[in-house]
Amino acid sequence: MRIKYPLFFRKEGLLVVHKALLFIFGLWVLQGALSYIQISHYRKTLSRLKSKGRVLIGHEKGKLKPGSIILLVIDDNEIIIDMEEMKGISVFDRFRKKSTYIGKTIEELSKELSQLKKDTITTRAIKKALEGFE
């Protein structure tokens, strides 16, 4: 009488497991490569903005929602001359220019944010960037 082993212990079962592990490893490598591309984009954007003036960085993580990274560029008079935001949950997200607060001073921005009724992920990230300034 032959013992019938479970599929996992048979030769065909091991092939299925090996293919599954190889597939998972491939996804892990792909995620690492895409993360590397996103980090290099972040560094290039930061270098480009640093050439314009002082850069304030704020970030807010979303638990089940998209997170936000804010880069504020200010000049010597504390006026915002550029602002970019990366918002999302994917490695495909990129920085996008936001012109909402460009031309305002840090003080005006702080007052405006404190008067807002709705506290979004973006406003919390901006507040964190301003905390780094003070």
Structural domains counted in the chain? 1
CATH number at residue 47: 3.90.1010
pLDDT band at 16 (very low <50, low <70, confident <90, very high): confident
Contact between 109 and 128 under an 8 Å Cβ cutoff? The reply is no
How is residue 39 written in tokens? Answer: 């980090």
Give the structural domain span for 70. Answer: 7-133
Enumerate long-range contacts of 109-113, CB under 8 Å, 24 or more apart: 109/80
Whether 11 is in a domain gets the answer yes
Q: Which residues pair with 105 in a beta bridge?
A: 79
Q: 101-117 pLDDT, tens per residue?
A: 999 999 999 999 988 88
Whether 28 is in a domain gets the answer yes
How is residue 81 written in tokens? Answer: 């001359």
Q: Which residue has the tokens 């998209």?
A: 66
pLDDT band at 126 (very low <50, low <70, confident <90, very high): very high
Q: Which of 39-43, 46-50, 63-67 has the lowest mean pLDDT?
A: 63-67
- Residue 41's pLDDT is what? 93
